Amino acid sequence: MLKVVGDTNFWIAVAGWHGLAHKLYLMLRKGQFVHLTTVQILTEIGHSLRYLPHVTDDIAYEWYCTIGMYSQVMSLSLSAVEHINVCRDPDDNKFLECALWGQADILISRDKDLLVLDGYRGLRIQRPEALWSLLEQV
């Protein structure tokens, strides 16, 4: 089964629009791939969702719970993993850590700071369209 990490911008697109990201979310709900995340990532998503004009605290919390329910939430204890510090935006390192230690096949993002690291330690870091193409082949 394909393992995927979606960054915060991916989940903002899922919650805020009904485009490709939302279609991928529906595929996740049907069990067509496994999504990996951490509590740290979920917390960032919950906070970031509050910047959308139609998202209240209750809606942000519902998304936090829903994403957690449809994800494999990994525990990356401070002593158990090597911390990565290669992103231009240090806040993005947590996505690489989750993807690498969870042995993800692809990290999906539209963030240029992550996309430039495509191939880092063999990890595919690509736009949501790449995940869509992979899932269409299955």
Q: What angle do CA 77, 39, 107 make, to 5 degrees?
A: 95
Q: Is the dihedral of CA 34, 39, 102, 85 positive or negative?
A: positive
Q: What's the pLDDT score for residue 70?
A: 97
What are the tens digits of pLDDT across the range 110-130? 999 999 999 999 999 999 999
At residue 122, the pLDDT reads: 96
Per-residue pLDDT averaged across 45-71, rounded?
93
Q: Say if CB 93 and CB 85 are below 8 A apart.
A: yes
Rounded average pLDDT over 17-30: 94
Distance CA 100, CA 115 (A): 15
Q: What is the pLDDT of residue 82?
A: 72
Count, residues in the chain: 138
Q: What is the CATH number of domain 3-137?
A: 3.40.50.1010
Q: Which H or E run contains 66?
A: helix 57-69
pLDDT tens across 73-101, in order?
998 665 556 788 999 999 999 999 999 99
Q: How many Cα atoms within 13 Å fall on the side-chain side of residue 3?
A: 14
Residue 10, pLDDT score: 96
The yes-or-no verdict on residue 109 having pLDDT over 90 is yes
pTM: 0.92
Q: What is the mean pLDDT of the chain?
A: 92
Rounded Cα–Cα distance for residues 38 and 87 (Å):
18
